[in-house]
Structure formats: structure tokens, C-alpha cells
Structure 1
Amino acid sequence: MKLHQSTPSWSFLHVIFLLVNLPSSCAIIEKDDLPPEIQKCYSNYAHVSLRDVVGQTLSWFCEAPAVRTLRNSDSPAPQPLSSVRYVSGLVDKVIANRGRRVKRQAAIHSRDKCVRREYRMLSDYERNAYHRAIIALKHDTSVEPNKYDALAALHTGLATRIAHFGPNFLGWHRVYLLMYEVALQEVDPSICLPYWDSSLDNELDDPRQSPIFSPGFIGGGTVAGNGGVVSDGPFAGWETPNDGPLIRNIGGDGELFTLESIEAILSRERTRDIVPPLSLPANDLEFHHGGVHVYIGGIMNQLDTAAYDPVFYLHHAFVDYIWELFRTRQRALRIDPQLDYPEEFGSPFHAPNETMGFNLNLTTEQGYSDDLTTSYEYDPSPDCSERRPTCGSRYLRCNTTRGRCYPVIPSTVTPEPPTGMPGCRPGQPGCPTWPPTRPPTRPPICPPGQPGCPAGPPTRPPTCLPGQPWCPTSPPPMSTPKPTPPKQPCKQEVLPTQNNFCIDGMCDTNGWVYVPVKVVSMRPPGLKKYDSYPISNGKVSKTNDIYQPSAYAETNRYINGIRGVPKTYDRCDDTKGFGQVYVQSNGLSYSGIYKEAAVTDLRLATSLSIAYVAVKDPRNGPVKALFRAFDSCGRICRTACKDPVTGRYNTCSGVLNIKDVAGKPKQYSKTYGEATLDTWDYAENEDCPSFQSEDNFLTFYCDYRDNIPWSGVKSSHSKRDPKAVVPMNPGHPVPQPSLPLTLRECKVSNDCILDVPCLTGKTQCRSYGETHKCRGSCNKYAVCNYGQFWVRSCPFDWSYHKHEHTCTSLNRCKKLTLPRPLVPNQTRPTWNVSPKQSSYFQHLGQRAINHGGPFVHFFG
């Protein structure tokens, strides 16, 4: 009886003990649920294996568009009246140009369209002029704060929801690029927006070695460095309105476009297959575009700030180029891309009858209209082959094995002959005369029979640039290309990350506190051996190294027995002895991102490291933030939170609430130095400090699972067919297979049919630079580019020789007279050209041929 009476008293004390230790009464950091917007996106991709896509890109894809909504900051800051008027004026010009072709006089334009070329195909003069136009917009304060930032502000607030994660992504950014191009042309009418084909840089083992990141191009990164605050190049020292200096963290994580990803996109037939919500990530254009944002890092890593970095427009011009390639293929399949706006559009912002924004009445569906492309066209991305082993740029070389162009190291580029000051335009005071007086590089083409011409057929000019279709197929002796990109020594280095320390537009390190997190990393399956071997009876056994989990049955059971190797970046190499895990916090109750890296020992079966992640100081009010971690190969790390009662770590969402509670042990520190002292107890024993593990609330587990940790679906770790297509949402149709393959011909466009079969129903060709003559045409031919044929025309009235695969002046095509409307009873004007003028015009024509690029379209 006494025992029975004493039992309640003990139970009562036990209940009191539990109440005292409840999370709500003593924990400064508490876990929270994943916001519904992000959870819904992860649920849509629950059955997507990370063996097929890069996990970090998928995480950015789901979280980046939703974070702005979660902060309740859809409405952008009020814009000055001058900014509103300026943007409205650009909108008016885009609308005025829609549906009509604008006659331009600048040399780099085609007869009636602005020609957008790959960034490296511009001459140094043209590229510097482009940079100067951007800088002029930045310095023009007639609009508040300046014209460049006024344009960039359009890609903030609610616009990020209208323009992303849906089919309006394509049309919205197309209109945005047109506005930017018009703004540049107000500074310099000769400017056409170039695009940056980042898949060419991905041909290098280390894309950071590309001249793209050198001071002559976008700058902001030393060779094989990753930048930080941009201090070199045309945009050095730039400041953003609310997010501090222009920052890039190049190549720490993220991924540039790959050849495979572009071909996967172009293999589809309907727009619904390349944009959310029905697309698979492997075929999704918006998905792959996100990897480039992460690769550049810094300002580009956030949707609200990305447009403040000029590289944003170069990147999105390439996205628009890929979309135009896709639309070209649709037309060949008798699909009108203007009418192919997906019926399943996801967010109401992407409904076909919703307005696009920009203070104009264009609907999202009208963003697919061909009227928007009548003022510009794209030059194909540089390509090459064994037959044409040059790429047409001093900054590119040809890998004849892959038939791909790759960038050269900046120090190996031969300087272009000086033509005056950088970006100096002809006619400006202090600029040299243009064109510079130089002896002609080759004689004019002399038609047979003309007085003074040699007998016999004319020969091709000796200085014809290799790679141009009317030039000889063999390269000149002095320019033998290297067969493969040079292998750069891989430096075992830890890349730093520069943060802007901005919170809600105020950039100050003092506004942050540091939260210690543990990073538990498993040995990657790619690290087979570490060349450290056991010795038995005086003999070395090289079957397994001493760190290899498979050498120990119990360890192998947990490490390699259930793990897969999800897809990673192409450049990833986790066979070294150490790696990096990038940890970051993304504010949900405030605007701000902080990113840091932990170094892990990849030799060990399981390694432990500590990272300090900063968040907004909670002493000014409770803070909510989303914590994520990815290894240096882009694989997702799982999140686990500490149970304050049991002390065990259990799976959690990575969303943490942090508050300041007086008198309780702090789980964060005001500075990095304090965080170190709080993690390691030097006060107790200065010589041998102890690790204070009880203050680590969050742990990341990097263990190569093949599914999204927060999708609600556990990894099966089972092998599956990588070609199997899984619908994104139950009830949605699985993408249909391609049209039956035509065996005798390949239709490229309505005016170009080839007398060779397409490779497959999805991929027209494989060999880059492969050319074929269009059936029934004298001067049209098709060139293989990204698995699809691209129609080109020979210059002047030259014909295409289908056996030599070149344009030739021997058999000339009949001249086509462009129709020109005539006033009644009016005859066409005749031009009286003097011999001197004729010689000058011929000289200009030869210079155009030497220059290549868009002049093919200008004269073709």
C-alpha cells in the first residue's frame, strides 16, 4: 500500500522533469515544418531519382522561387517616377518593334534583323563596345537610381513568381531581353545582345579556367579562382542598390549547361515537356538554367538579385537561343510553337490569359508569338569537326574527337591587333580612324573572262578563314588544332565563399550571429582506394587500402551496402582525400543568404566536421531560416535535428526557428571567434579543450541517397531503368514518343529538307559540323548543332557544293531580287556607281567575308 502511495509522487516528479525539458520552454532553436509551397514542389518530384539529375539543382529549383513568397515580400519597393517612365518607354519600343522588321544600318546587323552571336564570336572591339554600353546604363542617373538598376529591379518581387516555375518562364524572359537590348541600343545602335554558351566552358575539366572569367570578358574571377567581390573586368567595383557590392563565387558548386542536357531538351516535341509543371527535370529548360545561377553564385544565386549582375542577360540570352532551337524543331514536326502554350500551367500566374507584367497588356500566351522575334535572330553556337577544325574565334579551339569547341586559357590567346582604345567608337573625339589603313589581306575575286583576270577558274582566296563553309576543308599548316582540351592540374584547394551580409537591404556583418552545425560525411563510393595499404608478415597487400569500408565487414554493411551514386556535376572528382560540403542558411522571416563550407576527410568511412552558419541576429526578434547542405559534387545532404529530451538526432525539414531567451545556454554566437570558443571549451582545459556537442542542434548527413530527403518518399536503393519515364503528378499523361522516323529524308524546316535520314525521331544528327545541302536549293544547307540541323545560306550568290561540303563561287546561283513596293507609275531607282566606289564596296565585301559570323546572313 505504501508502495502504491509513493508511486504517484515519483510520477509527478517525472512529469515535472519532462515539462521543464520541453522544447518550448528551454530550447533556443526549434525545428519547424517545411513550408507548403516547397513541400508541394518536392512532392511533385518525389519519384525522381537523383541518379538522373543533380540534387542541388533540384533543391534550388524548388526553393528559390518560393522563398520570396514565404517572406511576404512579393510587392517590390516603390520605384521612382523617373524609373517607371523609363521602363514604360522601353516597353513602348518593344511593342512598336513587335511584328515588324526594323531596318538597321550597323555593320553587325543582318539585312533586317539584329544578329545575336555567342559572346566569344565578337571581336575585341565589338565586345568592348558592348561593355561600354552596359557601363553607360549604370552611370546614367537621369533615371533613379540609374538605368541599369531600374531594369534589374523588374526581376524582383512578384515578378519572380510570374516569371519562374511555369510556362511563362520562356516568354517573360524573352520580352525582358528585348527591353534590355533596346536600352543598350539607345546608347549604341550597333549593339546586339550576345549570348553565352556555357556548355562550351563545360568542355574543360575546370571551367573556371575559361577566358569568360578573365578581365577582358565578364571578369570577377582570377584564373582557377572563384572571384568574390568583383574587382577586375568591365564591372569591377559595381554596387547593387540594396545588396552591397557585386559578388560572384564562381565554380564552388552549381553546374553550367552540358551538351547532354541541351540535347535532352531538344529531344522533346511539346513545350509542356520542357517547362513545369509536367516536365521531367532532365528535360526541363528552366531546371538546367538554375544550375548556372548557382555556379556563378553571389548575386546570381538569388532570383531577386540575379539581374543586377550583367552575366544574367548573357545567360538568359542562351536560354532563349535554346528555346528558339526547340521551336525550329517544332516547326519541322508541323507543330506551331505559337499555339503550343501548355494546357497544364500550374500557378495561376502562368495561366495563358494572365498579363505578363511590365505594365503592358501582353498575355503570357502572347509571349510565344513569332512577332517577338522579328527584330532579332541568332547566329548558331560555334561548332567544329574534323573537316572544319576551327571555331572562328581566337578564344576557342576544336576538340576534333568530340567535334566540340572549347575555350582556351587566357594566357595562350594571341592578342588582337590594336584598333584603338577599348570600346572606342569611330567618330568619337580621340578615337583612331576606322577602318584602319591596312594592306588588303587577299585580292578581290576575279570572275573569269573579265579584263585583267587570269585565265582559268578563280582560286579561293589564300587567306580564307578555316571553318567558313566556302573555304578549303583542310586547315592551314600554321594552325593545327589540338585534338583535345589541355588537362589542367587539379589543385587540391578549399574554395572560399564571399557573403554580402545583407539583411533586408542592410549589409553589415554585425547584424548576424553564428550557429554551429555538424557535418557527417560518408566515404564516397568513387574513392575506391587511397593507396595506403596494410602490411601482413612484412608484405604489402594492395587488395584494399586501410580506409576502405569493404575491407571491414561491419563497416561495409552500413557504408557501401545500401548506397547508390546519385548524379553529380561532370567536373566532379571525389577520388581525392578530402572534399567540401557547402552549408547555407536562407532567411524565411528575413531576406538574406549565408553560405559557408566545411572540409571533410573522404578517406574515412565516416568523418565529422563543424561549420558555422550565420543567420539574422534573433535578439531583435524571432528568426526563421531554411538550412541546407550539399557536397562539392552537388549531392544533397539530409537534415537531422536534436531532440531536446532524448538527445537523439531525428530527421527534420531543415527549417529552424531561432529566438533569444534570457538566462538559457546560447546555441548561437555573436561572432565567429565566439562560436569557436563556444564549440570548444578552452576555459575548462586550455591545453585540451573539450567538444561541446550538446549545443549542436542541427546535423547534416551526406550519404549519397538517391531521392529527395524531404519528399516523403524513402529511397528504395533499387536499380531501375534510367530511360523509364515517371509522370510528375498522378493522372498527368506520360510524354508521348516521337513521330515515326522518316528513313529517306530529314525535314529541318519548311524550306529545307535533306536527302539523308534523321538519326532518330528525337535527334536529327550527332556529328558536329556535319553539313548537307537542302533539297532543291542552290545555296541553302544545314549544319548539325546540338543534335539538330540548323539552316544556313552561302554568301552573295555563291552555291553550295554538296560533295565538297563548301560554298563555292564557281557555280553561282541566280540572283534573287528582293520585292520592294513601288508607287504607281514609278520605276525602280538606278544606281550610278563609279569605279572607285565599286572598288570600295568590293573592299567592304571582302572584309565582311574575312570577318565571318553575321555577314553570312547579311549577304546571304
Structure 2
Amino acid sequence: DVHHGAAFLSFHRVLLLIFENALRQKVPGVALLYFDSRLDQPLRDPTRSIIWSPQFLGTVKGRVTDGPFRFWQTPAGPLVRAGGHEGEYFTYRHIRAVMTRSRLEEISEPHAPPPFDFEIRHGDVHQHIGGIMAPAETAGFDPVFYMHHCFVDYLWEVFRRSQKEKGVDPTRDYPNRYGTAAHAPNALMGLGRLRNLHGMSDMYTTRMYTYEPSPTCSYRSPSCGSRYLTCEFRFGRPQCVTLEMITPTTPTAPFGSATNGQPQQPQRQRTPGFPNFPGSTFPGFPPTRRFTGRKKRQASRGNGRGRGNGVIDGSLMSNHGQNVLSQFGQNGFTQFAQNKTREMRQKKHEVRMGFNPHYENNMDVFQKITTEDEKEIILSPMTNMCPPTVPTNTIQNLFQMNGISDSRIWVYIPVQVIYKRQREQMVFESFPIEEGQLDVGKDIYDPTRYQSLKDNFIFNVNYSRSCRDMDGIFTKIMVHSDGLNYHGSFREFAVVDARQPYTSSTIYMAVKSPEKYHTEAIFQAYDPCGNVCKPYCKRFGHFQPCDGSLKLDNSPPKLYGMDYGEAIQLVWGITNEGIPKFRPDNIQLQFVCN
């Protein structure tokens, strides 16, 4: 396992080189890009970032049906994503914390404390994109994997430079407490004859590739260098943020080019774009500027030392560098020395919306992009324009079990989520009226205002709110099922009315079918602020606290449905009058969120 140990970063650095070399065997001069997710994190809904439009990476919710990777089939099934349900992107706060450390051991598992654990932060991005990107076994089937890991590698390189400034040699900083045996410095990576220690060499970024810096802005220079980025000043310091789409993309819209329109504004400089890949499964990119803020890995240009004709001269390297190079054979990394990426252009319509002309940095225009089939995507020049209040999409699960994707080998069980209103949600500004006057000092939904309820809702006046993700009428409770005697997982969410003091919702969770062999699975639930819900299992007709694990077999009475419809019928019946009637007796698992 390349995760949860000291070799995590070095392994992925070498993996990216091998992948890039494989691409260059098909497209000489192509270079990998990095996806700086920090630019999207400040958005109220990062799934509406322009990066997930057909012009960039395509669909982020459900099966990928637009963009350059539309309708891809992978060894794990169709390429799907489940953006926005879990995890989060990198933030500047996360990275600043990591950069305060000076040793690799301080940011690597298994001993890095949570605020500095770089691998955990990287995993949050996998979860936030979701779908095939979430499980480690399938993540590499989504091309976003390589762009995300290029950014991880970019940040590691920034960390290594910081180490040098602090007097630490990053090539000799392999942790003594490295984790399992697979992460030992001399353990084989599983990539040819390379060992974990080989990934620590400085040869890669001094002789094979370099990174362009991530975009920045300032009060004096408020341009981020791209029409798809805006400089925000509301974070205490200027920060580049991606623009949002304010019209939905069409699910079947092809990867289109922009129509002719007004030339770009002078302050929006054109920068190198996404490389053009051939092949029917990876259609060529149209001649438009797409990737902004996700800069390419760039091989050094010019007549650098030992780089005649792009061939790396191993004799000019340190002994450690020669050892690394030798693992790939004579001139095995020659292709990495090339970097020819064509520039892409895009013209746009500018739709003036009556903003004060005093605003600069594209704050006075909306951009309208037209795809090949004349579908329009309008970009907001301001973030948080239309923050969502309810979940806008379902989760497309992979239904993958032990490497096989097939929903027919799964069954469904009903799970009840009971929600008790939390102190984060005490005010909804729905006021009583007394003698014709609004009493704004009261909220009719606030249970602490009622004698019959207040004892059950203790409000701590000294409580400092640190999470705003529950400010809404509805709250989403995420529920997971993970196999204990099979390798597979399922994700679903319940939507509860956050105004009510108590409410419940029933969802239907998929687990391995116990028809041929019994099923053991464990369930977890949590709210948007990370508060974990308590599981209760039914024993002897009553719900009792438990660890959230269930064992199912095929003996009667069956407490599962062979499909979603049968699971519904377990808890819902129809009266003679045709009225649905709830029957909770067949529910074996509850989560109480309070």
C-alpha cells in the first residue's frame, strides 16, 4: 500500500513521471497539468466552478457526459463523479500549516498530527470529487487523479525548497518512523527496480521538469492572469478564485469551442493551455484557453547543463541521481526533457449587466461561452452569487464489489435517520406577531422559547460557531456502508427539515447480497459540520446503542430488498384507500444525530 506511510509522496512523484513518459510516447512534448483546488475551495458551491464545465474537466455530478472525458469506460465501469458530497479541496490555511514544518516526518503518516498531515488533506480532495476518484483502487481511472497529484507534488516541491532555506537537506530527510515495511527507505516501490528512497532525489525537478507558480494577485496588481479567475479581497488578503457557472451545463453538451466575440480584456493575459491529446477516447481539445490556475509541469528550456538535445547526461549527476536514472535504462527519461505545449485562444461575448463602472478585474461583465452545439454557459464574475440551500444532485455509486461493478449483486436495507435540531440552527427569522407587531426577539422555530421543549435544548451562550455549513432550512446527513467481509462501499444522504425540533428520514442503503453467503457491513453517519451520529441497532424488538455493524443472511424473515423497490415495500404499505402507510417494524438500524 502506497498510502499511510513515509513513501506516499516519493512514490507518486515517480508514478507521475512514468505516466507522463507514457503520454509522450503517444504525444511527444505533452506535459501534465496541475489542478490547484485552492482556487475553487472559497466558492459556496465548488461544483459550479468553471473547471467542471465542458470546456475543462466536464461533469462532476454523476456519469461524465461532457468535456474531454465524456462517456469514458474504465476497468471499474463508466467514469463517474460525485462532486461536493464529502471532503473538501485544499485551502490556503491547510497549506500554510504544512509549510510551518521542517521535516518530512512532520507532514507524513503515520506520525504527523492532523493539522499537518498532508496525506489526509490530499485524501479530502479525492472524496470531494468522489465517484471513481474516491476509492484508492480506482482513483487512477479518472484523469483528474494525475492533475490532483501533480498539485500535491508541486506543494511537496515548495515544501522541499522551504526545507533548504531552513538548512534541511530534503534528499536525506527520509523519516526514521516510516510506517509499515512497505514504506521502508529501501523497500521496492513496485515501479521497476526503484526503491522508496529514490523518490527523494532532487534530480526530478532540477533536470526533468519544473512547475509554473500558482496564480496570485495583490491590491496593486489585482489580475490573476486569466479571464476565468477573479481576485477576491474578502479573505483578509487578496486571493485568486475561480469563476462560477451561473447557468447549468447541458448533460449531453459536447466539448465545444467558444464562438467569435469581443476580444479579451488587456488585463487577462493568455497563458499556455491544456495539451491536445489524440485518439477517439480522448478527443482533441478545441483551440480555446481552458486551464487557468492549473499550471503545467514544465521541463527546463534552453541549453542547460547536461541537456544537449534533450538527452540527460547521467555523468553530470550526483551518485544518487545516477542510481535513479539507471533504473529506467539508457536515456529512459529523454522524453521528459521536452515541453512543447501549444497556446490556446478563446474569444468571448461580454454581456454588460449594469454594474458600477468603477469595478475593475472583470467585475463589470459576465462571460458567455457557447459550445459547439450552441449551448451557452454564463460565468459569474463574483463568487457566492447564488449559494445553494438544498442538495442539487444525487450520488452516483459505483456498485463495485471485489473489483466487479454490478448493481445486481447488491441488496438494500432501510435505515432511519433521526435528527434533533442543533444549536447551529437556532434562528430562522420566522417571528410571532403580537397585537399586530412582529416580535423580532423570538423565533417560532426556536425550541428554547417553549416551556415544553427548552429543557431538551440547552443553548450555550458561550458557544462559538466554527461551522456555517448548516445554515439552512434543510440539513444533509451523509450515511456510509462499508463491507467487513467484502470490499465495497455505498454512499447515500438523508435530507431533514432543520427547522423542526425533531424530525426523521428513511433512506435505503446498499450492501452485498447475502443470498449465497452472509453479509457483514458497518454503517456510519455524520452531518455537514462533521458531527458523528450515534448508531442504534434493533435487538429483541428495541433499539439499543451499537457500533453500527450488521450481519445479514438469507433466512426468513428477510430484512432486505433484492432491489430498491423491494426495500421501499419493507417499510411502506398502501391502505385500502390508497394512502401510503409507514411501517417501521422492519427497520433494523437507526442513527440519532443530536
| Shorter-normalised TM range | 0.7 to 0.9
What one-letter code is carried by the residue in structure 2 that aligns with 1:617? S
Local SS of the residue matching 1:624: strand
Cα gap change, 1:478 to 1:539, in 2 (>3 Å): closer
- Structure 2: which 5+ runs fail to align? 248-256, 265-269, 279-283, 288-357, 365-380
- 1:618 is aligned to 2:518: no
Alpha-carbon distance between aligned partners in 2 of 1:557 and 1:173, rounded to the nearest angstrom: 54
Alpha-carbon distance between aligned partners in 1 of 2:70 and 2:417, rounded to the nearest angstrom: 35
Alpha-carbon distance between aligned partners in 2 of 1:497 and 1:656, rounded to the nearest angstrom: 23
Task: Using the TM superposition, give the Cα deviation of residue 560 of structure 1 relative to its aligned residue in structure 2, in angstroms.
Answer: 3.9
Task: Using the TM superposition, give the Cα deviation of residue 353 of structure 1 relative to its aligned residue in structure 2, in angstroms.
Answer: 2.5
2:474 to 561, 575, 578: 578
Instruction: Report the counterpart of residue 739 of structure 1 in structure 2.
Output: none
What one-letter code is carried by the residue in structure 2 that aligns with 1:692? R
Local SS of the residue matching 2:482: strand
What is the 5 A alignment of 1:354-373? 354-360=187-193, 362-373=194-205
Cα gap change, 1:516 to 1:565, in 2 (>3 Å): farther
| CA displacement 1:254-301 (0-9 Å, x = unmatched) | 211111111111111211211112211121110111111111111011
2:487 to 591, 596, 620: 591
**Bigger RCO (CA 8 Å, 6+ sep):** 1
Alpha-carbon distance between aligned partners in 2 of 1:355 and 1:424, rounded to the nearest angstrom: 34
Task: Using the TM superposition, give the Cα deviation of residue 514 of structure 1 relative to its aligned residue in structure 2, in angstroms.
Answer: 0.8
- Specify which structure has the higher proportion of strand: 2
Asked if 1 retains the 8 angstrom alpha-carbon contact of 2:223 and 2:361, the reply is no
Instruction: Report the counterpart of residue 129 of structure 2 in structure 1.
Output: 296
Cα gap change, 1:264 to 1:345, in 2 (>3 Å): same
Instruction: Report the counterpart of residue 701 of structure 1 in structure 2.
Output: 592
2:570 to 675, 678, 682: 678
What is the 5 A alignment of 1:68-467? 161=1, 163-221=2-60, 227-241=61-75, 243-360=76-193, 362-373=194-205, 374-401=207-234, 402-409=237-244
Task: Using the TM superposition, give the Cα deviation of residue 536 of structure 1 relative to its aligned residue in structure 2, in angstroms.
Answer: 4.8
Task: Using the TM superposition, give the Cα deviation of residue 596 of structure 1 relative to its aligned residue in structure 2, in angstroms.
Answer: 1.6
What one-letter code is carried by the residue in structure 2 that aligns with 1:409? E
Alpha-carbon distance between aligned partners in 1 of 2:187 and 2:454, rounded to the nearest angstrom: 56
Alpha-carbon distance between aligned partners in 2 of 1:236 and 1:524, rounded to the nearest angstrom: 41
Instruction: Report the counterpart of residue 428 of structure 2 in structure 1.
Output: 530
- Specify which structure has the higher proportion of helix: 1
Greater mean deviation of Cα atoms: 606-615 or 516-525: 516-525
Cα gap change, 1:346 to 1:191, in 2 (>3 Å): same
Task: Using the TM superposition, give the Cα deviation of residue 589 of structure 1 relative to its aligned residue in structure 2, in angstroms.
Answer: 2.2
Alpha-carbon distance between aligned partners in 1 of 2:533 and 2:478, rounded to the nearest angstrom: 10
Instruction: Report the counterpart of residue 653 of structure 1 in structure 2.
Output: 547
TM-score, L = length of structure 2: 0.74
| CA displacement 1:308-333 (0-9 Å, x = unmatched) | 00000000111111111111111000
Local SS of the residue matching 2:77: coil
What one-letter code is carried by the residue in structure 2 that aligns with 1:365? L
Alpha-carbon distance between aligned partners in 2 of 1:668 and 1:522, rounded to the nearest angstrom: 27
Instruction: Report the counterpart of residue 489 of structure 1 in structure 2.
Output: 386
- Structure 1: which 5+ runs fail to align? 1-160, 222-226, 435-476, 704-860
Instruction: Report the counterpart of residue 691 of structure 1 in structure 2.
Output: 582
Alpha-carbon distance between aligned partners in 1 of 2:413 and 2:197, rounded to the nearest angstrom: 46
Alpha-carbon distance between aligned partners in 2 of 1:640 and 1:626, rounded to the nearest angstrom: 12
Task: Using the TM superposition, give the Cα deviation of residue 184 of structure 1 relative to its aligned residue in structure 2, in angstroms.
Answer: 1.5
Local SS of the residue matching 2:78: coil
Task: Using the TM superposition, give the Cα deviation of residue 197 of structure 1 relative to its aligned residue in structure 2, in angstroms.
Answer: 0.4
Task: Using the TM superposition, give the Cα deviation of residue 509 of structure 1 relative to its aligned residue in structure 2, in angstroms.
Answer: 2.8
Alpha-carbon distance between aligned partners in 1 of 2:17 and 2:547, rounded to the nearest angstrom: 40
Cα gap change, 1:386 to 1:346, in 2 (>3 Å): same
Alpha-carbon distance between aligned partners in 1 of 2:151 and 2:585, rounded to the nearest angstrom: 49
Q: How many residues align?
A: 478
| CA displacement 1:155-194 (0-9 Å, x = unmatched) | xxxxxx2x10111111111111111111112122221211
Task: Using the TM superposition, give the Cα deviation of residue 339 of structure 1 relative to its aligned residue in structure 2, in angstroms.
Answer: 1.6
Asked if 1 retains the 8 angstrom alpha-carbon contact of 2:82 and 2:129, the reply is yes
Alpha-carbon distance between aligned partners in 1 of 2:133 and 2:123, rounded to the nearest angstrom: 10
Asked if 2 retains the 8 angstrom alpha-carbon contact of 1:177 and 1:313, the reply is yes
Instruction: Report the counterpart of residue 640 of structure 1 in structure 2.
Output: 536
Cα gap change, 1:665 to 1:498, in 2 (>3 Å): same
Asked if 2 retains the 8 angstrom alpha-carbon contact of 1:213 and 1:220, the reply is yes
Task: Using the TM superposition, give the Cα deviation of residue 414 of structure 1 relative to its aligned residue in structure 2, in angstroms.
Answer: 7.8
Task: Using the TM superposition, give the Cα deviation of residue 533 of structure 1 relative to its aligned residue in structure 2, in angstroms.
Answer: 2.6
Asked if 2 retains the 8 angstrom alpha-carbon contact of 1:239 and 1:246, the reply is yes
Local SS of the residue matching 2:189: strand
Cα gap change, 1:254 to 1:478, in 2 (>3 Å): closer
Alpha-carbon distance between aligned partners in 2 of 1:425 and 1:539, rounded to the nearest angstrom: 67
| CA displacement 1:809-848 (0-9 Å, x = unmatched) | xxxxxxxxxxxxxxxxxxxxxxxxxxxxxxxxxxxxxxxx
Asked if 2 retains the 8 angstrom alpha-carbon contact of 1:549 and 1:555, the reply is yes
Task: Using the TM superposition, give the Cα deviation of residue 576 of structure 1 relative to its aligned residue in structure 2, in angstroms.
Answer: 1.2
Task: Using the TM superposition, give the Cα deviation of residue 518 of structure 1 relative to its aligned residue in structure 2, in angstroms.
Answer: 0.9
Task: Using the TM superposition, give the Cα deviation of residue 621 of structure 1 relative to its aligned residue in structure 2, in angstroms.
Answer: 0.8
Local SS of the residue matching 2:73: coil
Alpha-carbon distance between aligned partners in 2 of 1:239 and 1:254, rounded to the nearest angstrom: 25
Identity level (%): 39
Task: Using the TM superposition, give the Cα deviation of residue 599 of structure 1 relative to its aligned residue in structure 2, in angstroms.
Answer: 1.0
Alpha-carbon distance between aligned partners in 2 of 1:689 and 1:411, rounded to the nearest angstrom: 38
Local SS of the residue matching 2:495: strand
Instruction: Report the counterpart of residue 33 of structure 1 in structure 2.
Output: none
Alpha-carbon distance between aligned partners in 1 of 2:465 and 2:477, rounded to the nearest angstrom: 16
Instruction: Report the counterpart of residue 504 of structure 2 in structure 1.
Output: 608
Alpha-carbon distance between aligned partners in 2 of 1:689 and 1:410, rounded to the nearest angstrom: 40
Asked if 2 retains the 8 angstrom alpha-carbon contact of 1:389 and 1:481, the reply is no
Alpha-carbon distance between aligned partners in 2 of 1:312 and 1:525, rounded to the nearest angstrom: 38
Asked if 1 retains the 8 angstrom alpha-carbon contact of 2:515 and 2:553, the reply is yes
Alpha-carbon distance between aligned partners in 2 of 1:640 and 1:693, rounded to the nearest angstrom: 14
Cα gap change, 1:694 to 1:411, in 2 (>3 Å): closer
Asked if 2 retains the 8 angstrom alpha-carbon contact of 1:300 and 1:309, the reply is yes
Cα gap change, 1:592 to 1:567, in 2 (>3 Å): farther
TM-score, L = length of structure 1: 0.52
Alpha-carbon distance between aligned partners in 1 of 2:413 and 2:507, rounded to the nearest angstrom: 8
What is the 5 A alignment of 1:48-67? none
Q: Displaced runs of 4+ in structure 1, greater than 6 A?
A: 411-419, 422-426, 562-566
Alpha-carbon distance between aligned partners in 1 of 2:224 and 2:245, rounded to the nearest angstrom: 16
Asked if 2 retains the 8 angstrom alpha-carbon contact of 1:504 and 1:590, the reply is yes
| CA displacement 1:30-61 (0-9 Å, x = unmatched) | xxxxxxxxxxxxxxxxxxxxxxxxxxxxxxxx
Alpha-carbon distance between aligned partners in 1 of 2:13 and 2:578, rounded to the nearest angstrom: 62
What one-letter code is carried by the residue in structure 1 that aligns with 2:590? T
Alpha-carbon distance between aligned partners in 2 of 1:334 and 1:354, rounded to the nearest angstrom: 27
Instruction: Report the counterpart of residue 145 of structure 1 in structure 2.
Output: none
| CA displacement 1:699-755 (0-9 Å, x = unmatched) | 12223xxxxxxxxxxxxxxxxxxxxxxxxxxxxxxxxxxxxxxxxxxxxxxxxxxxx
Cα gap change, 1:689 to 1:357, in 2 (>3 Å): same
Give the RMSD, CA atoms, in angstroms. Answer: 3.1
